[in-house]
Every structure is written in structure tokens, then in C-alpha cells.
Amino acid sequence: MKNNSIHSIVEKQRNFFNTHTTLDINWRIDQLIRLKIAVQTYEKDIMQALHEDLGRCETEAYLTDIGPLILEINEAIAHTKKWAKPETHFSGIQCFPSLITKVFKMPYGVTLIMSPFNFPILLTLGVLAATISAGNTAVLKTSSKSAHCTAVMKKLIESTFDEQYITLIDGGHDVADACLAERFDKIFYTGSPTVGRHIMHAAAENLTPVALELGGENGNWCIIRKDADIKDAAQKIAFFKACNSGQICININQIAIEQSIAEPFIEELKKAFIKQLGTNPHTNKEYAHLITEQAYDNCANEAETYKDRIVFGGSGNRETLRFDPTIIFPVQIDEPIVNHELFNPLLPIVPYDNEEALLETIASREHGLALYIFTQDTKWAENVISTMQYGGGCINEVCMHLMVRGVPFNGTGHSGMGAYHGEWGFREFTHPSTVLYGSTKFNLPLRNHPYKSYKKVLLKLFER
């Protein structure tokens, strides 16, 4: 798509936004209902596209993309009126006689949503539900890596919404840069920290506010203490690490485990992988594959670097792009594999015997998007999660915090900024406008010149 075409789309959307059509709350809800119906209408096509792009089976496609998307849209349909209602505040005696102030939740205007390949449906249309709820227009720039999902979503959007309201643009990095060259009123990006920096740099040209959902530079830690239920932990971790072949921004990047239980835990983890996927996971049709040959090669090459410490997995099939969940043990905490986001099914395990030193090292690195802790000592876990910097996480569970309604999903530092899901998504795509309702009667002259001594006394009384 040429730059002038993108510019034309943005201008059409700005003109449409300026008609104030999107400010009507009932109209927004109607658009959310249209989006839900469209997702349900195209459900089979979406499942097929997810299979072609990522090798997803139908159950996993519904579990991780379609089902959560429907829940997200339903929540917006049910609560947009409540979220959009202006807040009324008492202005305070210092503002007498103007006693009423309201906070209006105003849409930004024309938004740009840039989504990744790993959950192409949820992370595009789920964010779209938030921006619709908030009263914006939207340009969607989807990943060129998940081409089949992009094609389905393009049909879905074009058959449901007018281009002047919502449109989807496909293409590679050149098209993404052409979008970033336009003046948007809000940009929402999901992806890597490297591209996140590029987004912020481009947004700075127009002082455009951004929300970034990133994976983090050093990946997400899972800490397993010696008092943990290792069988329970193994079952949950095996499911999560295998899900979408490890291509999940909140997935476990590496495990830190107390030295004395490392080997028993690994045995449980092997059993869990075999129980869920068989002895050769890369031949299991329910196991998703890596997105591209390059992603497969990166995974296989890193596994080769650590081949002398692979205790489970390590095999794959480049033709199908499936690589086994692979346990690497032991790994030291300063090795390269635990200092970058993997985004694949490799799972390095770091044994530790000094808990304090472990936590200090994790805290010294870039903030992760997630933190997982397995322990029977809830007080210890609460102390850790309340003093570390990360996006979100779980105690004795994995990934399920993503499914909780009414709570934010977000990152911090190198794992992102901003938050969404439910009302938090509505807030992310609106800016609060504070308006005081002035009175024309009983106005006190305290603020007016000349400033006589009694005015200071009264001001101190009112403003203490």
C-alpha cells in the first residue's frame, strides 16, 4: 500500500471522527455487537487460518484466541455505558460557590493498532474492542508473518465496518513505517522491545501517546522453591510451555529452582510433557508450530549450542516447523540463554542455593512481563511479588491471570507501558477531561486583586 493511500485512510477516519458519531454510547455498543457477530460468523475461517499460520488445533485456537476474544467483547458490550459515564466530584470549599466538577471520558480520535503474529486474532480484535468501546476510529496493522489470519481479518473488517471507521492494512515493515509516519491520536503496539523503541521514536514526532505490550528483554522467570508441589507445578508448566510452541509473551522463559529438588522436578516435567504430547511432540498434530523457518532455525541453533545439557527434547522437523519442548539443565544464571526472550519451546532450568542472590539478580535485570512462583509459603511469595517489578503473574499457577475479568494486563519498563482488558482497555483509549461548573452568584473576591491581609487568612482556612 502506498503512503498516499494510508494518508487518505487516516484523513477519512479523522473526518468521520469529527462528525461525533462515535461519541454516542449506544452506537458504540451496536458496533461491538457487530464485531462479535462477525467473529462468530468467521469462526471456522479463523480456526483454519490459525492452523495454517501456527499449526493450531481447533481446541487450542478457541482456547487462546477466539474464546478470550468473545469474552472481551461481551464485557465491553455489558459495561461500556458504565465506563463512559462522567464522574461527578465535589469541587471543594476552596472553589465555592462552584461546587460541581465532572470528569468526562473522551476518546482520543484516530487510533493505530499494531498487532503481532503469535495471537493474531485476539491481539488485534481484542484491542479493537477496547478502542470501539472508548469511541475511537481505528487503523489495524497486522503482522505479515501470520498472513492467513490477516487475510481472514481483512475480510471480516471490510464486511462489517466502513473504511472511514475501521480498516485493516496488511503489508511488511515498509507499510508499518508508512503508518507510523502519519499523525495518529493514539498508538497501541504489541510485540518486541526492539520494535517498541522504534514505535516510540516515531510517535514522538507528533507527541502521540502510546501503549506498549512487550515481552521484556530478559524474559519471564518462574521460581520454584523446595516446598512447592513439584508434580502440580510440572503439569501446569508443561501445558504452558507447549502452548503455541512457546510463542507467548507471558510464557516462562526460564525456571529458577532450588538445587535439592531440581532433578525430581525435571523428572515430573518430562512425564508431564510425555503425558500431554507423547514421546515425540513434534509429530503431534495438536502441538502448534513455530511461525517461520527463521524462527525454527533460531530455536534449533540455540538448542545445538546447549546440546550437551539437553535432558529432554531437542528434536524437531523443519518441514513442519515443530520443535519439541526442550529442557536444558543445568544452566547458570549469567548464561546467554537466560538473558534474552526465547519465544520458543526451549526451557532452561537454573538451579540455585542462595535465594537472596537469585532475587537480587532477577531484580537487577530488565522487568519481565510476568513472574510465576511455586511455593507453599504464601507470605514469602506475597513479599516477593510486592517488591519485584514485573507486569503481572501467579502464585502456584501459570498464565491464568490473563483470563481474570476486570483486572489490567500490562508491562513495565522493557515489558511495556499502559494497560488493557475490560475497563482498563477503555481507560487506555480515553483521556479524562476535567470540567468545573462555575457559578455566577455568591462569588467570593478572594482571588482578585488587591490581595489584602484578611484574604490570606481565609485562604489558609479553606485550603488547609
What is the pTM for the complete model shown? 0.94
Q: Provide the residue type at 169 as one letter.
A: I
Backbone dihedral angles phi then psi of residue 282, each to the nearest 5 degrees: -70, -5
Catalytic residue among 179, 243, 249, 299: 249
Catalytic residue among 72, 75, 213, 258: 213
The pLDDT profile of the chain, 464 residues, written as one tens digit per residue, is 667 899 999 999 999 999 999 999 999 999 999 999 999 999 999 999 999 999 999 999 999 999 999 999 999 999 999 999 999 999 988 888 899 999 999 999 999 999 999 999 999 999 999 999 999 999 999 999 999 999 999 999 999 999 999 999 999 999 999 999 999 999 999 999 999 999 999 999 999 999 999 988 888 999 999 999 999 999 999 999 999 999 999 999 999 999 999 999 999 999 999 999 999 999 999 999 999 999 999 999 999 999 999 999 999 999 999 999 999 999 999 999 999 999 999 999 999 999 999 999 999 999 999 999 999 999 999 999 999 999 999 999 999 998 898 899 999 999 999 999 999 999 999 999 999 999 988 887 777 888 888 878 877 877 77
Q: How far apart are the first and last CA of the chain?
A: 60
Where b means 16+ CB within 10 Å and e means fewer, 314-324 reads bebeeeebbbb
Measure the CA dihedral 177/182/185/188, to 10°.
-10
> Does 213 participate in catalysis according to the annotation?
yes
Cis status of the peptide bond prior to 209, with omega within 30 of 0 = no
How much of the chain is in helix, strand and coil states, percent to nearest 5? 50, 20, 30
